[in-house]
Amino acid sequence: EKETVAKVKDYTALGTPIHDSIIVDAAWNSVQKDMEYQGILYKTNSRIFHMGPLANGTNNIGEFLAIVHALGYCKKHSLEKMPIYSDSRNAIGWVKAKKCKTNLEVSATTQHIHDLIIRAENWLKDNTYKNKVLKWETKAWGENPADFGRK
């Protein structure tokens, strides 16, 4: 008889998040059917930007827009070495691909979201950045400090 042992991941290997960083998060409100996002400076826990609520946006779109917003903020303020954390693997991948791979259909009620996506994609195509975009490791570090607390 074979005994199975549940493997516990060693989160200490992930270390701790970089203190001098920007952390972004998005939230979708299931009641209002809208999305918002924000970015905070981790070392001071102070909000540096907030957008929304935006009708008909999705959480992944918000995460994507938040990362690009943070990249633009860093470029504007000469913070090219400051890492940016997001807890969304999808959004991080979309930023690296310079393409928001959403399935949100274009309509009169979503055009404003698509305009923001196009603007963000164009920013990614037209600008270079040195900032590392990193995954916030929630299981190791706890909830993302930019979280809206709606879970």
How high is the mean pLDDT of the chain?
90
Highest mean pLDDT range out of 5-14, 26-35, 68-77? 68-77
DSSP letters for 6-34 = PPPP-GGGG----SS-EEEEEEEETTTTE
The position carrying tokens 């905070």 is 40
61: pLDDT strictly greater than 70? yes
Split at pLDDT 50, 70, 90, the class of 32 is confident
Candidates 145, 118, 117; CA nearest to 39 is 145
Instruction: Provide the whole-model pTM.
Output: 0.90
DSSP state string for 89-112: HHHHHHHHHT-----PPP-TTTHH
- pLDDT tens digits, one per residue of 70-102: 999 999 999 999 999 999 999 999 999 999 999
Q: 115: helix, coil or strand?
A: helix
- 49 CB-side CA count, 13 A: 19
- Residue 78: what pLDDT? 97
> When comparing pLDDT for 3 and 124, which is higher?
124
